[in-house]
Structure 1
Amino acid sequence: MPPLEQELQRCLQEADRYRLLAEQSTDMISRHTPTPEWTFIDVNPAIERVLGYRAEEIIGTPGYDLFHPDDADNLKKRAESVRYRRGMYTNVYRFQHRDGHYIWLETTSRTIRDERGKPMEIICVSRDVTERELAQQATRRLARVVEASSDMILFCNHRTLQLTYMNETAYRTLGAERENLAVFYLNQLFPQDILHTLVEPALQHAALYGTWYGSIPLYPAGNPGRIAEIREIIAHRNRAENMQVEYYSIIARDITLKRQAEEKAKRQQLEMAHMSRVLSVGEMATELAHEINQPLATIINYCNGTFRRLDDGQITEVGQITRAMELISTQAKRASEIIKRMRHFVRRTEFQRISFPINETCVEVTRFLNQEAIDHDIRFDFDLDDSNPFIEADRLQIEQVLLNLIRNAIEAYSECHIRPRPVKIRTRIEGRRLLVTVADEGPGIDMDQLNTLFEPFSTSKENGLGMGLSISHTIIESHSGRLWVEPNGEQGTCFHFQLPLKGQA
């Protein structure tokens, strides 16, 4: 065979191989005019799988008309989706399917030129990347959400505990700058005791069960005065390989404003509680004055009697004077104790959680109300738990609640002639909580009043402000407890409140 024929046959065979490759390819291979219309000249059968057209339907169609309006001029504008390398352009864009919807194509194109450099045609290889683009869009949207989140979001290496990513809120809360290339580790953010007792167990829990929820305090050293807390940790696993933890997502929140608001509310509550105590003492002024007058009158009587006996010469030994002085001293101490209790009750204090026995507190409050009980012919009946339970709370505030409830029980008898007039005070342990009950046998409370009893300014007293029970309710709730009321059988009223026992708050 002559050499020319052999070369021609070889070229035909090579062309057939290329044609076979093009026809069998899953990528769409197409030829286009080098004009702005980008008209289809030829295309392989893969177009039917990619765009839904048969080859004969699309040939002669301007490809430009099928671009999404926002992507049609990507190449001219050199959009971010366009890359150029070694004479080839790669463009990611939306193209219209035969059914009318748009799909994402990634096309690598090259312009074929003649010997003079004039464009002859454009060869394109395109593939459907819709799933990839939608996944990337979702990732980008998620990244924008993460970056704009008001929560602190941090990614942490599960082995080194290095923070590999922090969103803008995390940088701001920690007092760091994104431009600063400082490397953060979890052990830099927490004291050793919190790291070992709270953070590491939380990471271990997330590694075992996927997530951890709770509250771990975080005080950023680079931003003094700020307070944050870790609320959630998520363990992300390598699902493609061995299902081992790859990294943790840590979600935290800056709670500085919340804490400041809580502190402000606490101060307001303390002020309201103090005002309530002062008002209570004001309402008891007559009884307190009478109670103080009794020892003072006794002191005067002892002094006057001693003077008379001295003038009459009836006292001849020092021992007789000593006895009188002992009696005077006893009454002075009694008056001093009354004033001391009153000053203790009305003083302004900060919230102080201490451990104390509730039985002793109940008895102490009734001593403060001793004169009022005498004036109203009240008898205190105690039924106190034999185990002498302790609670952890602000003692002064719990005393105030008891005082309000016991005074209400005393006043319940003011409009009736019931005799005897018991006020029953009972303490019991119920599981991990303490139950305190103050009950009377008065005429009871109307059902209409029961619904609004703990609301501010709700009162049936002529001169009352209606704040005592409202403040008591707030105090008990702030101690993780509950205060409620219920009828006492046929007549009377029972007030109950529950508080956590010592060590159970």
Structure 2
Amino acid sequence: MTNLDRPTGSSVSRAGLQFWSALLALAVFMVDVLTPLQGAVAVLYVVTILLAARTNRRNDIIVAAIGCAALTITAYLLKHDLQPIASPAFRALVSLAAIAITTLLALQNHAATNRLAAQARLLNLSHDMIFVRDRANVINFWNKAAEQTYGWSADEALGQLADKLLRTSYPDRREVIEASLLDTGRWEGRVEQRTKAGAALAVDARWALQRDHLGKPVGVLETHTDVTDRVAAHSALVQSEQRYRRMFDASRIGVAEEDWSGLRTALNSLPTRGANLRDYLARHPDFVRNARGLARIIDVNPALQKMAGAGSSAAFIKNVDKLLGEGNRSFLDALVAFAEGERFHEGETELVRLDGHKVPVLFTITFPPQSDEDHNVLIFVVDITERRQAQDALLAAQAELAHAARVATLGELSASIAHEVNQPLAAIVTSGEAGLRWLRRDVPDLQEVTTTIGHVVAQGRRASEIVTRIRTFLKKAPPQRDMLQIGEIIEEATALVARELAKDEVALTVEAQHGLPPIRGDRVQLQQVLINLLINAGQAMSGQPGSRTITLRVGSEDGETLAIMVQDSGPGIQPDDLPRLFDPFFTTKDGGMGMGLAICRTTVEAHGGRLSVASTPGSGTTFHLTLPLSQEHALP
């Protein structure tokens, strides 16, 4: 058997066959006419016809047959004329009969060959790889699809052993497959083969056994379909499914797979849509209750079963209504999200375990696109019991912290009251003692006593104002803001600390710019700030040898800010103490409370200003205080 899809010869070989056929016919004619041979020389024309048949052209066969018959008759007439010679005439008839029979057989063979060629062309049109092998496994037909897929041309494949060429791997032993083929005449299976380039192909093979007229096996027709991509896709799908199953079963997050297609149908049948759907569902709780049963559970992973206290997915599905509990609005919200075409819905609810305990959970529902017909709705559930407990513990800790803060605030407030009131009380005691000394003289100095009693009254009033300010603060009343002249505040503050500074032999110098605009603030609070700064400066120089001076400078900065500087000639502040100087309860004085400077900074900042300090050990300390000037009287 040959590869019938190929033509017998090219156009050049066909012309050569025609030439040699004609030449042979002429030679036979010359021998028949010119030689005295008495045999049926014309029978040799049969060879001419067979040679013409090799061109695979029907017309060539017919032309050759007619030509040979004409030459046979012509030779008979030339050699024997029309004499009734029995023997030559008989030989001529035999030759013509041989020519006719050969022509008929050649035409039949041509027709059969054309039919086979047409069938071969049909096989070449197939997208499947098709080849024919004999019983010895030798390939004798190889179609175009086989050439394109496997990489071998027909010339390369013909005559090769099929299994060796394609390096075929069978799903079973070859002997078993051959036995099945001989028994049934057919075999189907998936085999692995290699291309010329070495690529592995998975193919679905179908074998058909060919038998001759005696029923003897003579060949096998193999049809192969390349399923490499399909096998790879199936393998990837299987791996994806296995991976999904592992994730589904091993996840510590509860997962449920549900089919909501029934819910979609029920929602589509409702008379309302859009924004009115939630109101409709709220007015029809029976629909929502029945809709729960339409959300068909397909599978539940072990984590969700454990969360619900169910021993199996069947137990979970059987008690799903109990698990959701009555009056649970989370399903209604999910139903609205599903109807509105959202892809996700999240919420928080409580899952009622089979033993009756409630488990707080967070859940997320992922809805597939509507093209998937809602068959794969995934619900992810996270147990937040530990988080809820942590939140409760945090709230309790916050309550404890708030209580501790209130206690600390109370302590700071008490310290603040003691610190602020202590100064006027100390001044009252000092003034009272001075008044007693003036009265105990042999000749009482009533003028000095009067002055001293005036100081007592002034300090008492100042203490009263401090207490009043604190009570106002506790009542959350708005702070008092008056238009104040800084000169008056400085004069009053220096008068109140004059005795304290004189006791420590401290000289106070005030350098104030004239015509300063007023500021807006609380007189008593600003007085307390200046008094604190002046007294701290005096106490810092107490017991220090040499001159002890405090310089108080007051001026304007950039026309919008009032600047006050309190500079002393004391020992200064250590660099390590500067960052903490304004912290509550931090002090560098023996017996100090550490509240004065903290209160001063808070007061200044409440007035929109700033309080800072600069110090070099051994060179004194400078406090720099700024306050905003009143905009109604700001400098041009």
Alignment TM-score, normalising by the size of structure 1: 0.44
More strand as a share of residues: 1
More helix as a share of residues: 2
**Per chain length, whose mean CA-contact separation is higher, i.e. which structure has more relative contact order (CA < 8 Å, sep 6+)?**
1
Alignment TM-score, normalising by the size of structure 2: 0.36
Q: Over alpha carbons, which structure has the higher Rg? A: 2
